Structure 1
């Protein structure tokens, strides 16, 4: 049992939110379906693994597998050492870097599969495939939790709110002008290029499209929640997009195998 850690010294608010808050949300949402304790869990797109680590240490799952296509997954333990003084990975946590087209079947079967702020980054034509792969490794009585934000057409769906604080600027400003402005405001050329690469690879999926994809592969959506932007919508955008698509910034849902 890993005991050499403490939340008392956490200074990074992002790490705190991912390590403590996201696992609490997951525990609350899954409570009526068996919760997290003594369950086999898959974190699909774990990033730097803080939420997986928080679940492993604080919610006593039997086993949690955290996967990501990005090598930043290997920052999980260095970040844990820095923020909570953790020296060793807990025995119930497995970190695994995968390719986008890697099947999940070899990872085992899971009671809970979750994905947090990942699906806006999934290549659009792979959304159905990703959901199908997740469903194949979900036990018949298991649950899949998916949260994604910000959706592309929402006020800050570009992920550039820090640099472009005007709502829907990515939809209102000519594309090359928008990108050049990002480069100017970020300053560091390498960092700007990385951010723009991320931006160029955001999909355009709406909340309804993601839900339809889940149902298409055989999921039954049993609980759903959306959050909305309330900024004034520019008249030019009202002529092009539906208000619901522009305002919906977050989709959260739980799904089970359809019967």
Structure 2
């Protein structure tokens, strides 16, 4: 147990959990992840296990806001978040500014990992794993190894809630809607033209799209950051994702593919299936079988 976690547990033992006040929320990014994202995670993973007693792992935890919400709003008692960036280090400040909390709950712990680094050697017997809009950022050659590693982290019968939004071929699958609101534009123009649109953008960004890392980069630096993220997208679609999770050994207990109510341009329909273009989000509830079996080989 880290010294910080030990200190938090000691404080809670003597003083109780820090008070929090949702009426203080002013940031739309925080609100979306504290309310909407947490609601969806609870609806899906909470339908398969009790988060109040489960040991949970969040793969791609980001700033940890959704983890915090699961603890405060739904009573989760053990969530370990992992990410390749340290955005979660901002959580104590964010919780203080948005909820008036003087300290984050001891139920939360976080870890920085290297891309593709295995977790199973350190995390075993996990009851539930969650991943929110993360797997579209994983390099193609790392997808199956990571899924197999997460499979190993779970106890037999454990569950994995995996969500991706937006999927690459959907209207805003570039993740650049902050700067370019033309649907499917990334499938219609070249990379250089797309960069010029982002680079030349002026004016405010939708508040719900401005994360807490924006200030670290500045206006121009953030444009470069999100464009590099666009270039690195793995372009995964829902069918490919389902094939991969099954190849890793999971059974799909439930899935939902959400579509946009937009009509793709005719020129794109000549190149891609309409289902692919309109499928904006995929949500999967996966389970590791009680009777463990070797995942199928590639």
TM-score range, shorter chain: over 0.9
The answer to whether residue 141 in structure 2 is matched with residue 125 in structure 1 is yes
The Cα shift of 1:9 comes to 0.6
Equivalent position of 1:201 in the other structure: 232
**Normalising to structure 1: TM-score of the pair?**
0.95
Task: Structure 1: give runs of 5+ residues left out of the alignment.
Answer: none
The Cα shift of 1:23 comes to 2.2
Name the SS of the counterpart of 1:66 in structure 2.
strand
The answer to whether residue 243 in structure 2 is matched with residue 212 in structure 1 is yes
- Aligned residues of 1:186 and 1:192 also touching (Cα < 8 A): no
**Normalising to structure 2: TM-score of the pair?**
0.83
Q: C-alpha separation between the residues in 2 aligned to 1:50 and 1:146?
A: 17
More strand by share: 1
RMSD: 1.6
- Aligned residues of 1:44 and 1:113 also touching (Cα < 8 A): yes
- Aligned residues of 2:63 and 2:90 also touching (Cα < 8 A): yes
The answer to whether residue 196 in structure 2 is matched with residue 180 in structure 1 is yes
Equivalent position of 1:53 in the other structure: 68
Alignment of 1:1-259 (within 5 A): 1-105=16-120, 106-185=122-201, 188-258=219-289
Q: Deviations over 1:36-87 (max 9, x none)?
A: 1111000110110001111122222231101111121211111111100111
- Aligned residues of 1:27 and 1:35 also touching (Cα < 8 A): no
- Aligned residues of 2:25 and 2:98 also touching (Cα < 8 A): yes
Task: Structure 2: give runs of 5+ residues left out of the alignment.
Answer: 1-15, 204-218, 292-298
Q: Deviations over 1:154-195 (max 9, x none)?
A: 110011223211110000012211112211115843222112
- Aligned residues of 1:28 and 1:35 also touching (Cα < 8 A): no
Q: C-alpha separation between the residues in 1 aligned to 2:220 and 2:73?
A: 40
Q: Which moved more, 1:65-74 or 1:26-35?
A: 26-35
- Aligned residues of 2:124 and 2:152 also touching (Cα < 8 A): no
Paired residues, what number?
259
CA 1:23–1:191: 2 relative to 1, 3 Å? closer
Q: C-alpha separation between the residues in 2 aligned to 1:121 and 1:186?
A: 26
The Cα shift of 1:251 comes to 0.2
